[in-house]
Amino acid sequence: MPDAPPDLSEDVARDRLRTVLARIDAAAASAGRDPSEVRLVLATKTQPPASVRAAVMAARHLGREVLVGENRVQELVAKAETFADLGCTPHLIGPLQSNKVNRALDVLLAAAQPGCVESVATPETATRLGARAGSMGRVLDVMVQVNVSGELSKSGVPPQEALELAVRVAAHPGLRLVGLMTIGARSPDVGMVRSGFATLRGLRDTLLASGAPGTSGAAALSMGMSGDLEAAVAEGATIVRVGTAVFGGRVQTPAVSR
């Protein structure tokens, strides 16, 4: 296995963040949107705590508060102390196995600003999350993940089933539905990528207009990453999840279970 790259320095993180934030701001301006409507999640998958700390502090020195997103529960737990020290709001942005629900919520709901599970894709996961949050006397913020591209490699509920699942999630007393999430199509065709993001926006708009219990606050659209954030912002993203554009290549680690 190759040696891990050195920890990210705050100076390098600041320069990269300037570029990313400028891209977000320019995309928002081009779409006639207020850049402050778009929040940045630092996707910290496989990154060491020192690099996460450097990136968060760099963002604050630039006057921007960021969220942190982990793909795997094992890494979420391992970095819990770092997130707590920094006062970060953690998001789980990867698939969640039902047997990891308790461990995930122990971190997400202990944060200074309680976190969010962006990747709810089945009624069973929603029920487990809601029951656990309720047993803790808490309400957990969640999003429904939608597979807008239809790619088998991506998680998420199909678009035609998304509204039904979202309404069921929103009705659960232990959960607060705050929006929808997707991963854009893996394609060089910008039009195809934008079409998927537009699909998610349309689903969100239909959900907000449904009048179903618990759906009135589900306005968030988490979509767009390092390579396609401009398309996402143009289609209404309120959260973009960026990893490699800030941290560089992922640190190689042995596979871990989610």
| 256 in a structural domain | no
Q: Render pLDDT for 57-74 as a digit per residue (tens, 0 to 9).
A: 999 999 999 999 999 999
pLDDT of residue 7: 87
pLDDT of residue 249: 75
Q: Render pLDDT for 79-99 as a digit per residue (tens, 0 to 9).
A: 999 999 999 999 999 999 888
| 216 in a structural domain | yes
| 154 in a structural domain | yes
| 252 in a structural domain | no
Q: Mutual orientation of helices 10-30 and 49-61 as an angle, nearest 10°?
A: 60
Would you put residue 136 in left (φ > 0), alpha (ψ -120 to 50) or beta? alpha
What CATH number is given to the structural domain containing 169?
3.20.20.10
| 257 in a structural domain | no
What is the Cβ-side half-sphere exposure of residue 245, based on CA atoms within 13 angstroms?
20
| 2 in a structural domain | no
Residue 190 host element (H or E): helix 190-209
| Domain residue limits at 238 | 10-244
Q: Render pLDDT for 140-184 as a digit per residue (tens, 0 to 9).
A: 999 999 999 988 889 999 999 999 999 999 999 999 999 999 999
Q: Is the pTM of this model over 0.85?
A: yes
| 143 in a structural domain | yes
| 116 in a structural domain | yes
Q: Render pLDDT for 203-244 as a digit per residue (tens, 0 to 9).
A: 999 999 999 999 999 999 999 999 999 999 999 999 999 999
| Domains held by the chain: number | 1
